[in-house]
Chains A and B, each alone.
Chain A
Amino acid sequence: MNPAIAIVFTGGSLTIGVYLATVLDSFFAARVARSHEHAGQLLLEPLRNVALFVSQRRTVTERPDRGAWALAPALLTALAAVAFIAVPLSPDLAVADIPVGIVLFGAALVQVMVAVFLHGWSPNSLFSMIGGYRFAALALSMGIPFSLVLITTAIPAESLSVGVIIESQAHLWNVLRQPLGLPIYLLTALGFAFWGPFSHPDATDLAGGTQGETSGAALLTWRTARAAILVSAAAMGSAAFLGGSLGPWIPDWAWSSLKTVLLLAAMIWAGHRMARPRMENVVKLGWLLLLPLALVDVFVSGALALWTP
Chain B
Amino acid sequence: MDTVIDAIFWVFAASAVVTAVLVFVADSMVRAAYWLMASFVAVGGILVILNAQFLGLILILMMAGEMTIMAIFMVMFMMNPAGLNPMLMVHQHRTAILSGVVSFLALATVGLVAEFPNLPAPAASSPIVPLGQELLGRSMLIFESAGVALLAVMIGAIALVSQRGRYGDAEQGSLEPALEPGTNE
Binding site for B on A (CB under 8 A): 65, 68, 98-100, 103-104, 106-107, 110-111, 113-114, 117-118, 121, 124, 129, 133, 136, 139-140, 143, 160
Contact = CB atoms under 8 A, between A and B. Distances in A.
A111 B68 CA distance: 10
Contact of B68 (A100, A104, A106, A136): A136
A111 B64 contact: yes
A103 B64 contact: no
B58 interface: yes
Interface string B106-133: 0000000000000000000010100000
Interface SS of chain A: helix, strand, loop or mixed?
helix
Q: Give the residue among A68, A99, A111, A140 with the most B Cβ atoms within 10 A.
A: A111
B84 A107 contact: no
12 contacts: A99-B126, A100-B128, A107-B58, A110-B62, A111-B61, A114-B34, A118-B30, A129-B84, A133-B82, A136-B69, A139-B65, A160-B128
Given A100-B128, A107-B57, A118-B34, 16 more contacts: A65-B31, A68-B31, A98-B53, A103-B61, A107-B58, A110-B62, A110-B65, A114-B37, A114-B64, A117-B68, A117-B71, A118-B30, A124-B84, A129-B84, A133-B82, A136-B72
A106 to B, nearest CB: 5
A160 B67 CA distance: 25
Given A121-B30, A124-B84, A160-B54, A114 B61 contact: no
A267 to B, nearest CB: 23
Contacts of B13: none
Interface in B1-40: 30-31, 34, 37
Given A100-B57, A160-B54, A160-B128, A113 B65 contact: yes
B54 A103 contact: yes
